[in-house]
Amino acid sequence: MKIKFNKQLAFWTSSIFIFLICFSAKADVYNSTNYKILEPVVSSGGEYSSSASYQLQGSIGQIGIGTSSSATYDMKAGFLYFPFVSTPVVSVSAGNAQVSLSWTSASGVLGWTASGYNVGYSTVSGGPYTFGSSLGNVLSTTVSGLNNGTTYYFVARVEDALGNVIATSSQVSASPVAPSTPGGGGGGGGGGGGIQSTTIIFSGKAYPKSVVTLLKDAQVVSTTVAGTDANFQMTLGNVSTGNYIFSVYSEDYRGIRSSLVTFPVSVTFGTTVNVSGIFVAPSISVDKSEVKKGDDIAIFGQSAPNAEIVISVHSDEEYFSKVDSDSNGIYLYNFDTSILELGEHTTKSKAAVLSLISGYGQSTSFLVGSKNVSATTTQKCPAKGDLNNDCRVNLVDFSIASYWYKNTLNAAMKTKEIEKLNGDGKINLTDFSIMAFYWTG
Amino acid sequence: MKYKNSKIKYLLFSVILFSAQTVFAAEFSLVADMNEIKIEQDFVVDLYINTEKENINAVEGKIIIPNNFLTVSEIRSGNSVVNFWVEKPQVSGNEIIFSGITPGGYVLDEGLVLSLVFKAKKTGLTQINLADFFALKNDGNGTKAKIKTNDLKINIVSLGEFSEKDVTVFDKEKPETFKPEIGRDENMFENKWFVAFVTQDKGAGISGYEIRESKYKILNFSKWQPAESPFILNDQDLKSYVWIKAIDQKGNQRTVRLDPVNPVSWYANLDNWIIIILAIVVFYALRKKVWKKHSKNQQ
């Protein structure tokens, strides 16, 4: 009897434990010295939290008569905690009465998960778009039954597990074309069936007046300068049929490189592929390498003009703040470190402007300690992977690492490996992965 | 009975928990282009990665071939998601070992890693296995992603009529454009200058590279020689042009040229003297012609 009871107890205990493990990843707990709310429903984009079983009420204002008002500041109340889903980069390629679309996977954070996608199209720029049923968790589709010669405008929607739309890509257009008929009769001149060139047009946002670099299969193929609105466009011609990994990065006003935005593109012969909605993540720096606990640390960088920047400060607990970038895309946030524990912390940022939402950019670290130490120089060179110290991570560094791959390192290379790679005293795939992350081409 | 029930419940919960954990594992799968293979028949097997929403930038693995059943006739890596091979896929005994990276990473549900062309040798049920596979996250630390591998079962049936499937790749396109880089490092090649290069061919794949160096573009009598990256440059003063030719499996070629880092002065460049001499010859020829015409008119 006792054994039976123990088994039952063990079963239910473990069941509850397993249940908690399965679901605690999704539950968000917000703690305060004054109150505690479990599993808050956080919504953005004009929606409100709702539940049949509870109601959350709050008020902000002075206890006395009158209401706070200011034209120069805004106050954010509630959960300072900004869930988001990055918008996909969409590629379209026109065919005969059809258009093929592919898009990058949208990444959601803080409770939002991209669980499915849908594609809408319209013959009018800006919509309204016609959507079919959800496509499920796929990264490509073909819209057929279209009229050749008509320009169609497409958007890709990101859906959560319940089918709610949680992000929408920027619009991209394509015009289906009938296959060219060979030759044709008369006339002098050169042989028919001339080779059609395959072209890819890339467009998106970087930083105002910044140099934007395009990499094809990790090798630099083009650079351009973004406009004052941070928009850029690049065209790559004579591309062969096949699958490519393209990447884009930019440099901010101080010459600091962004992280790579990478997107696979499949190219078919004789078509024009439009890749739209590339949004380079913000650059980020801090004014102190060590900050005295309780003092402010300035977190700053560049993104698109008038973008909403979400700054995350990551330690045991993750803290979020929001600030807008100015007309030059520059943002600055003074973060009060009194809430941080002593020790090393990292910070990163992402941006949202119009319907575009970037992913998080590279992170930078700082120490919370007992004194303030200015960040000496802004780090323009990649933090890791640059084995020959030329401020680039490219084929030369790859060659140096390949030379030592699975071989015993000499003393000088050991030092370099500790400084520039993962510091385990050998060159293996992990070191190459670090290089791939910091790659500049 | 009750004990049995709770055992089932335990199992059920374990399955739920297990499946919940394995949902986000990057998955490597082998896919054959036909279900049933006949002896002497060629067939293609593709290795795909489904990154399951993880951003992956490095992969490594070992494909184990049942040598008694299958012969590897070709390895294709032309259209791969891997940009740079750390270990180029090669047959070694009954294994194909490879590792490679993709700068910036990728999130794909069907990323082609490589393709293998096999010829079936004898009948029977056999299996191509995947072993020691790794996928590393594009997070700056080379963190290992959870992975799952799917082996491939193959049924080889007896000799008989089979419709010959053409597994050859139609490829008339040159290898991709590429940009070689010159560099050196005190820890390798005695700090000598080397040139690093790599490209892809989206059709049949790269067969090899050739290189030649010359101080002169026009008076270039240097010969092409086979090369592998990194290649130690003959001209350590970096006064030479360097031509690198990428050749694909079908013989299509793309040549790129690197201009000298320290070009020779104009008077030491024989190309310039050739141009000057040619210009003088043309000038005198024209002058003579004009002079003749002029004197003819005067007569």
Does A15 sit within 8 Å of B9, measured CB to CB?
Answer: yes
Cβ-based contacts of B106 with chain A (< 8 Å): 245, 262, 264
Does B101 sit within 8 Å of A435, measured CB to CB?
Answer: yes
ipTM for the predicted complex: 0.82
Cβ-based contacts of B87 with chain A (< 8 Å): 405
pLDDT tens digits, one per residue of B179-231 = 999 999 998 999 999 999 999 998 888 999 999 999 988 888 889 999 999 99
Does A395 sit within 8 Å of B142, measured CB to CB?
Answer: no
Nearest Cα neighbor of A81 from A322, A365, A352 is A322
Which residues, including other chains, have CB under 8 Å from residue B10's CB and lie 6 or more apart?
Answer: A11, A14
Does B177 sit within 8 Å of A430, measured CB to CB?
Answer: no
Contact criterion met (CB below 8 Å) for A417 and A431: yes
Is there a single domain that holds both residue B201 and residue B243?
yes
Does A433 sit within 8 Å of B57, measured CB to CB?
Answer: yes
pLDDT given for residue A330 in this prediction: 96
| Tokens 């910070």 found at | A347
Residue of B127 and B25 predicted with greater confidence: B127
pLDDT given for residue A69 in this prediction: 58
Q: Do domains A84-178+197-279 and A285-374 have the same CATH topology?
A: yes
Structural domains counted in chain B: 3
Is there a single domain that holds both residue B55 and residue B134?
yes
Structure tokens at A362: 């590279």
Phi, psi of A355 (to 5 degrees): -95, -5
Question: At the top level of CATH, which class does the domain A84-178+197-279 belong to?
Answer: mainly beta
Nearest Cα neighbor of A89 from A227, A254, A281, A218 is A281
Q: Helices A395-404 and A429-437 sit at what angle, rounded to 10 degrees?
A: 170
Domain ranges of chain A: 2-38, 84-178+197-279, 285-374, 395-437
Confidence of residue B240 (pLDDT cuts 50, 70, 90): very high
CA distances from A433 to A213, A275, B27, B196 (A): 21, 26, 18, 19
Nearest Cα neighbor of A245 from A203, A283, A205, A216 is A216
pLDDT given for residue A45 in this prediction: 39
Which of A7, A15, A436 lies closest to B101 in CB terms?
A436
What is the average pLDDT across B161-180? 78
| H-assigned helices in A251-364 | none
Which residues, including other chains, have CB under 8 Å from residue B97's CB and lie 6 or more apart?
Answer: B61, B62, B87, B89, B90
What is the average pLDDT across B259-268? 87
Does B200 sit within 8 Å of A217, measured CB to CB?
Answer: yes
Q: Give the CATH H-level superfamily of domain A285-374.
A: Immunoglobulins (2.60.40.10)
Instruction: Decide which of B157, B191, B222 is a domain's last residue.
Output: B157
Is there a single domain that holds both residue B194 and residue B214?
yes
Is there a single domain that holds both residue B211 and residue B242?
yes
Share of chain B above pLDDT 70, in %: 89
Cβ-based contacts of B196 with chain A (< 8 Å): 395-396, 398-399
Give the closest-approach CA distance of A140 to chain B in angstroms.
10
Measure the CA–CA gap between A307 and A319, rounded to whole angstroms: 20
Is there a single domain that holds both residue B82 and residue B197?
no
CA distances from A9 to A50, A226, A408 (A): 36, 65, 55
Cβ-based contacts of A8 with chain B (< 8 Å): 6
Which residues, including other chains, have CB under 8 Å from residue B31's CB and lie 6 or more apart?
Answer: B45, B46, B48, B152
pLDDT given for residue B274 in this prediction: 86
Structure tokens at B232: 């130690």
CA distances from A69 to A65, A150, A298, B34, B270 (A): 13, 52, 27, 72, 79
Cβ-based contacts of A136 with chain B (< 8 Å): none
Structure tokens at B160: 């008989």
Nearest Cα neighbor of B120 from B50, B32, B202 is B32
Q: Is residue B239 part of a domain?
A: yes
User: Which uninterrupted H or E stretch holds A8?
Assistant: helix A2-24
Name which of B19, B46, B87, B108 to mutate to probe chain A: the one with the most chain A Cβ atoms within 10 A of its Cβ: B108
pLDDT tens digits, one per residue of B139-158 = 999 999 999 999 999 999 88
Contacts of residues B10-14 at CB distance under 8 Å and 24 or more positions apart, as own/partner, are: B10/A11, B10/A14, B13/A14, B13/A15, B13/A18
pLDDT given for residue A371 in this prediction: 93
Is there a single domain that holds both residue B260 and residue B278?
no
Structure tokens at A99: 């258009």
| SS3 label, residue A431 | helix
Is there a single domain that holds both residue B258 and residue B284?
no
Is there a single domain that holds both residue B118 and residue B227?
no
CA distances from B74 to A396, B49, B191 (A): 29, 20, 37
Contact criterion met (CB below 8 Å) for B260 and B266: no
Largest CA-CA distance found in chain A, in angstroms, rounded: 101
The answer, yes or no, to whether residue B102 has pLDDT greater than 60, is: yes
Q: What is the DSSP letter of B189?
A: G
Which of B17, B134, B182 lies closest to A18 in CB terms?
B17
Q: Which residues of chain A have pLDDT under 50?
A: 1-3, 5, 19-30, 41-49, 58-66, 183-195
Does B173 sit within 8 Å of A441, measured CB to CB?
Answer: no
Cβ-based contacts of B58 with chain A (< 8 Å): 429-430, 432-433, 436
CATH (domain of B65) = 2.60.40.680
Share of chain B above pLDDT 90, in %: 63
Q: How many CB pairs under 8 A join A and B?
A: 182
Which of B9, B81, B179 lies closest to A219 in CB terms?
B179
Is there a single domain that holds both residue B105 and residue B229?
no
User: Which amino acid makes up residue A27?
Assistant: A
Residue of B270 and B43 predicted with greater confidence: B43
Largest CA-CA distance found in chain B, in angstroms, rounded: 131
Is there a single domain that holds both residue B141 and residue B31?
yes
Give the closest-approach CA distance of B163 to chain A in angstroms.
27
pLDDT given for residue B208 in this prediction: 94
Measure the CA–CA gap between A418 and B182, rounded to whole angstroms: 24
Specify the pTM.
0.76
Q: Which domain holds residue B259?
A: 181-264
Does B107 sit within 8 Å of A8, measured CB to CB?
Answer: no
Q: Helices B2-22 and A2-24 sit at what angle, rounded to 10 degrees?
A: 20
Bond into A282 cis (ω within 30): no
